[in-house]
Amino acid sequence: MADLAISLSDRAAAGRLAAELAPYEQLWAVDGIGGAVFGTVAEQLGKLAAYLGRPDQAARYLATAQDRYEQAGTPAVLARLDALAGRRPQAQAAGAADSAGRLRRSGQVWLVDWRGRHSIVPDSKGIRDLAVLLARPGEPVPALELVEAAGGPPAAAAGGSLGPVLDATARRAYQQRLTDLESDLAEAEANADTGHADRLRAERSMLAAELAGALGLSGRARFAGDPAERARKAVTMRIRAAISAIAAQDDALARHLRNTIRTGRLCSYQPEETVSWRT
């Protein structure tokens, strides 16, 4: 009836419904034995107050509805409030709202607010990693710590590595063979020996791939069984997957995260301007 009164622009009916429903603000409106759930009465009261030109009342009622939906873990119903965003007074000034966001868990999903857009993304370890980083802007966070925060083993119990994947002698041998291959390949190409050249290229590609897998950034040796390296790989992959999930809901936020999230053994959130995230 409240929706009908608003749709028909019947202010008298809307005013009467607002008065009749006011005592039931905290209750949920349910049809029959639960065949349909219309949300809290506070949501209807908020819409009525907004239609009747009572912005303060509308803000209070809709804030009540939002709190009840978040507490109940009902993101589908909570998302319906998005349509009212244009009529919901903001607690912050417009400029401040642009530099604020929210990433909050609600059961098996996360509620995301970013610059006027509201999204719901499924729970994942990558989303939990993002929540830690967004709450600590500019602060380097070890990947091992993110693994622990997402339910993995304690960082303190990670242990050490089994040594470099390639020792210095093997590394020099690989590099020397690659140098020899370049010389042999140049000779084979000069002699138009395509079969031999193809075999040399295949060997060169294989050795280059093995050497790259044994070295990290700036040519530093990777270590076999290194827990920090395993954590780096795992966290990097799952953060990328989480940002992809966000992109399906909010491209602008996904771009912001891709530009500001740094992954590695140390991960961080590095926005150019101060951004305040509520979690």
The per-residue pLDDT for 99 is 59
Question: Given strand 261-262, what is the order of strands in its sheet?
Answer: 141-142, 266-269, 261-262
The per-residue pLDDT for 105 is 87
| DSSP states along 16-59 | HHHHHHGGGTTSEEEETTTTEEEEEHHHHHHHHHHHTT-HHHHH
Distance of CA 35 to the CA centre of its chain: 34
What residues contact residue 5 under an 8 Å CB cut-off, 6+ apart?
A: 13, 14, 17, 48, 51
Please, what is the Cα angle at 240 between 265 and 78, to 5 degrees? Answer: 120
Alpha-carbon distance of 39 to 223, in angstroms, equals 55
Q: Give CA separation, 272 vs 115, 218, 240, 260, in Å.
A: 16, 26, 20, 8
In a structure prediction context, what are the per-residue pLDDT tens digits for the chain, which is 279 residues long?
A: 888 888 788 889 999 999 999 999 889 888 877 677 778 898 888 888 888 888 778 888 888 888 888 777 776 677 777 655 444 434 344 444 445 788 988 888 888 988 888 888 888 999 999 999 999 998 999 998 998 887 765 655 444 444 455 556 766 777 788 888 888 889 888 998 888 888 888 888 877 776 666 555 444 555 545 677 888 888 999 999 999 999 988 888 999 999 999 998 899 999 888 788 887
The per-residue pLDDT for 198 is 87
Q: What are phi and psi of 191, to 5 degrees?
A: -90, 5
pLDDT in tens, 235-256: 999 999 999 999 988 888 999 9
Please, what is the Cα angle at 261 between 259 and 266, to 5 degrees? Answer: 140
Q: Which residues pair with 277 in a beta bridge?
A: 101
Question: Contact at 8 Å (CB) between 81 and 66?
Answer: yes
The per-residue pLDDT for 129 is 94
The per-residue pLDDT for 19 is 93
Q: Map out the domains of the chain as residue ranges.
A: 1-89, 95-162+225-279, 168-222
Alpha-carbon distance of 74 to 153, in angstroms, equals 31
Q: How many CB atoms lie within 10 A of CB 42?
A: 25
CATH number 3.40.1360 given to 95-162+225-279:
no
